[in-house]
Amino acid sequence: RRAPYPALLFHRAESTRMHLLLATDGSSGSLDAARQLATLTLPPGSRITVVTVADHAAAPGAWRGLTEACEIVAPTGATVTTDQRQGHAAEGLLEAIAHHHPDLAVVGTHGRSGIMRFLLGSVAEKVARHAHSPVLVARSRKGVAPSLK
């Protein structure tokens, strides 16, 4: 939870195509997660489903973030599709994961701690704890030592 860089431990045959689910809300943390996903070498035939979940008030920003996240991961060569949902972020993402059955879900985190995390909750933590697929929680690279960027 406090690692300054993403850690991905995943055992699969090298040639097996993958299905990844990328969660985005248009925030800098979720777009950083998309950038980190874009650095992975994916097997041919892989696909990425970019998911956004927003309540009615936040929907316009989330939809813009969905488009930006798709543009960020497009260079991976994977087939990119989208899934737009309305509702609470954590529950909507868990429903999307249950629906799509990805090999790996990727979510960003704002890196909040202490009282802010307690008050606002952590969507990434809820998804990581309750998803039935492996989850990569990609921490924003703000504040990461230059040698780790």
Least Cα distance to 126 among 92, 102, 85 occurs for 92
Amino acid letter, 124: A
Q: Residues near 13 by Cβ (< 8 Å), separated by ≥ 6? A: none
pLDDT of residue 63: 79
β pairing state of 135-139 and 104-109: parallel
Amino acid letter, 47: R
The tokens of 88 are what?
A: 């609470």
**pTM here?**
0.80
Contact between 46 and 19 (Cβ < 8 Å): yes
pLDDT, tens digit, for every residue of 118-132? Answer: 434 578 888 988 999
State the Cα–Cα distance between residues 93 and 86, nearest whole angstrom. 10
Question: pLDDT higher for 110 or 51?
Answer: 51
pLDDT, tens digit, for every residue of 81-96? Answer: 999 998 998 999 999 9
